[in-house]
A = this chain, B = another copy of it.
Amino acid sequence: MDDELQIAKENFIQGMSRIGSFWGFSKAMGAIYGVIYLSPDLVSLDELVKQAGVSKGAVSTNVRTLERLGMVHKKMKLGDRKDYYTAEADMWKIVRGVLKEREKTEFGLALDTVGESLDMVKTVTNPVDPELNDFYKERLKGMESFFNSLDNMVTAFTALDNLRVSALPSLFKKTMNNE
């Protein structure tokens, strides 16, 4: 392969591993996705071990997580027991997928927790300190309202999937230097 091209690839892979760890994924996941993303052909597990520079075990688990997140797709070749992977190149699709997954778990849980506390405060019948009671109520309501809005935003965003309105980001577009 072209040397310059190879260097560009390695630079990109390294960058993805950096970015990945910022977004809450492991460094290895970023690197693995980077490798697959820049491969025109299907990539085998052993190829990933070589190019991403992590052990087979790590690739095995990380690539499965990537698949669960919809970031890569597993393909089988007939008469070949190896697993092959392709990258999902539609970033917005990926974002929607990840948000959908996390909405169910973390966002909902946040709402539940706050709602729970709020309910406790509401059910105080004869408060010792009425002012403090009201203060708690106000603050907890504020927090609940925030998480509620957030949850609705995420829900709305993930729903864009069906409407095929991936064009949403263009609403925010200011300057784009496409070549």
Contacts and interface: CB of A to CB of B under 8 A. Distances in A.
Interface string A140-179: 1111011011101101100000000000011011101111
A61 to B, nearest CB: 21
Contacts of A173: 149, 152
A40 B135 contact: yes
A152 B136 contact: no
A133 B40 CA distance: 10
A7 to B, nearest CB: 6
The complex is assembled from copies of this chain, and their number is: 2
Nearest to A110: B19
A82 interface: no
Taking residues whose C-beta sits less than 8 angstroms from the other chain, chain A's interface range is 35 or more
A5 B114 contact: no
Given A12-B140, A19-B110, A1 B128 contact: yes
Interface of A: 1-2, 4-5, 7-9, 11-12, 14-15, 18-19, 22, 24, 37-38, 40, 89, 91-92, 106, 109-110, 113-114, 116-118, 120-121, 123-124, 127-129, 131-133, 135-136, 139-143, 145-146, 148-150, 152-153, 155-156, 169-170, 172-174, 176-179
Given A4-B123, A40-B135, A148-B177, 9 more contacts: A2-B127, A8-B121, A8-B136, A15-B114, A19-B106, A19-B113, A40-B131, A152-B174, A156-B172
